[in-house]
A and B are shown apart, each in its own frame.
Chain A
């Protein structure tokens, strides 16, 4: 109070203090915001290229159906066999890399592009695919499905 009274330009000094205070606050905010957002774990919880936790639970895949999931940048297919077992395969057809689908009527994994058929072990059984689909390991942990590449 005494200082300000002595000062020739009290309003100028007030403004300066306000400017410094606000901009320091702004700077702290501008660095604190990205850093705190950075530290919050992102939704896709794993960076590993060998394991993925599926965004749906086991109850969402009834017997004799299948679901496509994202495995890294590629597609995978999770099939529940009519007997109730969960199996996962790479969903890219070994012929020309189309995404395969499950045919409930014939119980095959099927590629619509050139009518390639795979059985529920991923073996190419008909049509142009030259190789079986790569099979993944499926683990059910509580109500989550974890798919990983076999070693």
Chain B
């Protein structure tokens, strides 16, 4: 009985949506099985966290009010009066952090396994774009509760743009909506966070996912060279079910973090108060923040900070162009230089981040 009814529904839908076409593609899709297969799950994990962000973000919009006068109060209301408001906000805050973490791991696994080799250059570029968007999501979202910590961290964070020569001041006021971080900045960041970024992320995500479907999973060189006739498992249902296990684990971790360490609100931002000691950016900016601190006031004829910002800009462009710079890999040779560069970058980020949290804040 049941089955026949389901079958009818399937036929009806298939005729209108072309489901059997999708089914055919899914059935054909294979995922290579080897000792690096575990890294294939990180992209899906990031996607899951992104969906969590969209869902909780939409829920938060029901109560949030984007103005300097009301933002803090509306979050206070959400946390204290709205049932499970604390849970939704805490999940949103924790999933944001976890998502950036998985994005970074995904990036470095792809870099070290050289999954960017032809024909996947555009997949890589869209991935870097998504990384940039994730970080911007984090940066703009951090200010929205309009508490003291967020206010001053944003003031310091946006100031960095001001050191760019010539256009810096203009860009700074464009971003802040005025000379200083104010209610105008809040509405700007809000617009960016809930409209601009989701739209952009949607586009890049579609490109990224389409290309992943088109080219399939990349197999690392070491596997190609070492094991003849590598094994594979079907994407549906074998890989997808494993993916689901990963998602559920992430959900359990998220729920635990949210319930045990709920997001705090702190005190309302007061632009006329002096900045509290030891203002720290979000952890994923820490390595950049800490690097800038170590730079001397002047390098040659330029300001130290400007040099640092310039250097990080160059590093970003280089990262974007890795598929084109790694010429030996394009020719199919095994080249270890970029692997070592990747490992060096990971080590640099980890060391500077640790320093950022352990070094004396007054220095």
Contact = CB atoms under 8 A, between A and B. Distances in A.
A44 B80 CA distance: 10
A38 B89 CA distance: 11
A47 B59 contact: no
B185 to A, nearest CB: 20
Contact of A34 (B63, B65, B81, B84): B84
Contacts of A72: 73
Nearest to B70: A48
B83 A47 contact: no
A35 interface: yes
A72 B62 CA distance: 20
Nearest to A50: B69
B78 A47 contact: yes
Contacts of A50: 69
B83 A42 contact: yes
A35 B69 contact: no
B87 A34 contact: yes
A38 B81 contact: no
Interface residues of A, number: 14
A40 B73 CA distance: 19
Contacts of B84: 34-35, 37-38
Nearest to A43: B81
Interface residues of B, number: 18
B81 A47 contact: yes
A40 B81 contact: no
A38 B88 contact: yes
Contacts of B83: 34, 37-38, 40, 42
A39 B138 CA distance: 25
A35 B282 CA distance: 28
Contacts of A48: 65, 70, 73
B262 to A, nearest CB: 13
A47 B83 CA distance: 14
A3 to B, nearest CB: 10
Interface in B63-82: 63, 65, 69-70, 73-74, 76-78, 81-82
A49 interface: yes
Interface in A20-37: 34-35, 37
Which residue, B62, B70, B81, B88, has most C-beta atoms of chain A within 10 A? B81
A17 to B, nearest CB: 13
Contacts of B74: 47
Given A38-B85, A38-B88, A42-B82, A49 B69 contact: yes
Given A40-B83, A44-B81, 7 more contacts: A35-B84, A37-B83, A38-B62, A38-B82, A39-B62, A44-B77, A72-B73
Interface of B: 59, 62-63, 65, 69-70, 73-74, 76-78, 81-85, 87-88
Interface of A: 34-35, 37-40, 42-44, 47-50, 72
9 contacts: A38-B85, A44-B77, A44-B81, A47-B70, A47-B73, A47-B74, A49-B69, A49-B70, A49-B73
